[in-house]
């Protein structure tokens, strides 16, 4: 029997990406609301009773409203996968990064409510959590996280500005240091000290690099960069979508994984200077958004969704 899925907010970038991926899976049937009933709570409730899972691709406030509508349906309601940032640190929601820690994929499989990670948070947590779990990085260590993304993750206005040539080639943003991905980085990387997070956007559609510099002599036991790489590699040894790459390049660009759902992690080191740089590379619309959502959906419904 096919699984019936409703994408609430399918017209956005993430929703369109999810729909395109699900259209290629024979075991998935996409349910839709007529455009004129899109904001009709009664029509939406009726549809929600008739699907197995709803994916929320909405602004945070609207995602909370839809989640509340599902909750009001009780046992008649579907399971929920929220691609907004509304529930990423909310009690009762499982964080949808299956590679986070041992047993996380099993939690996603059985959860009634799963929150899909933010794109920047995916890269930062993927690098930090293995080192914290291995005791190589203290939870209260002062951290600076830098990242650059393609403009496709910035919403309709940003996309239009770049495509029309109005936007600059490169810019830093969220300079109040209050980016909405920071709380989930703190919570799911298990940080006790809030990092400084500096996001930026470039004049390219898709792709992302997240980088974290470290002074090796400031870490417990004064590890080598190779020790950090070994811990990260051990953490993801069985991961399907995450790979630790050799540090054999002196340059990294953000777009080579576009169109894929993979996540590549790099550890660069200079033993003379006792410095290291952690880097995550992925498609911000792949493992950073739609691809991650489909991976979680596959776990929740027991379906093979591998591309």
CA neighbor of 105 nearest in space, from 200, 241, 4: 241
pLDDT digits (tens, 9 = 90+) for 66-79: 999 999 999 999 99
pTM here is: 0.95
Which of the following is catalytic: 119, 148, 232, 300? 119
- The answer to whether 113 touches 82, Cβ cutoff 8 Å, is yes
134: three-class secondary structure by DSSP: coil
Taking the chain (307 residues) in consecutive chunks of 10 residues, what is each chunk's mean pLDDT? 90 91 91 84 92 96 96 96 97 98 97 98 98 98 98 91 95 96 98 98 97 98 98 97 93 96 97 98 96 96 81
What is the structure's pLDDT at 222? 98
pLDDT digits (tens, 9 = 90+) for 233-250: 999 999 999 999 999 889
pLDDT digits (tens, 9 = 90+) for 131-149: 999 999 999 999 999 999 9
Structural domains in the chain, CATH included, are: 3-117+289-301 (3.40.50.720), 119-284 (3.30.360.10)
DSSP state of 67: H
Q: What is the C-alpha to C-alpha distance for residues 244 and 229, in angstroms, rounded to an integer?
A: 8
Task: Mark whether 57 is an active-site residue.
Answer: no
CA neighbor of 120 nearest in space, from 249, 251, 288, 239: 288
User: 114: which 2 tokens?
Assistant: 């799963």
- Strand ranges inside 83-169, DSSP E: 94-95, 113-115, 144-150
CA neighbor of 6 nearest in space, from 51, 42, 45, 65: 51
């Amino acid at each position: 029997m096919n699984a019936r899925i409703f994408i609430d907010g399918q017209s956005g970038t993430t929703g369109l990406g999810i729909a395109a991926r699900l259209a290629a899976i024979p075991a998935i049937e996409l349910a839709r609301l007529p455009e004129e009933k899109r904001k009709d709570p009664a029509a939406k409730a009726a549809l929600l009773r008739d699907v197995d899972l709803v994916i929320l691709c909405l602004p945070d406030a609207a995602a909370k409203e839809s989640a509340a509508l599902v909750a009001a349906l009780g046992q008649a309601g579907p399971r929920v996968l929220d691609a907004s940032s509304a529930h990423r640190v909310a009690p009762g929601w499982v964080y949808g990064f299956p590679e986070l820690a041992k047993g996380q994929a099993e939690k996603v499989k059985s959860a009634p409510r799963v929150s899909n990670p933010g794109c920047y948070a995916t890269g930062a947590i993927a690098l930090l959590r293995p080192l914290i779990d291995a005791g190589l990085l203290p939870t209260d260590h002062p951290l600076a996280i830098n990242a650059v993304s393609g403009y496709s993750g910035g919403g309709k206005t940003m996309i239009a500005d770049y495509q029309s040539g109005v936007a600059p080639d490169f810019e830093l943003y969220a300079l109040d240091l209050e980016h909405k991905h920071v709380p989930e980085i703190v919570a799911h990387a298990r940080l006790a000290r809030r990092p400084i997070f500096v996001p930026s956007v470039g004049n390219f559609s898709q792709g992302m690099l997240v980088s974290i510099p470290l002074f090796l002599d400031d870490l417990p036991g004064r590890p080598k960069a190779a020790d950090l790489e070994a811990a990260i590699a051990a953490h993801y040894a069985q991961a399907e979508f995450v790979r630790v790459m050799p540090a054999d390049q002196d340059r990294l660009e953000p777009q080579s994984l576009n169109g894929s759902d993979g996540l590549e992690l790099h550890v660069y080191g200079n033993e003379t200077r006792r410095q290291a740089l952690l880097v995550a590379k992925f498609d911000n619309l792949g493992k950073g958004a739609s691809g991650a959502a489909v991976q979680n959906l596959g776990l929740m419904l027991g379906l093979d969704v591998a591309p």
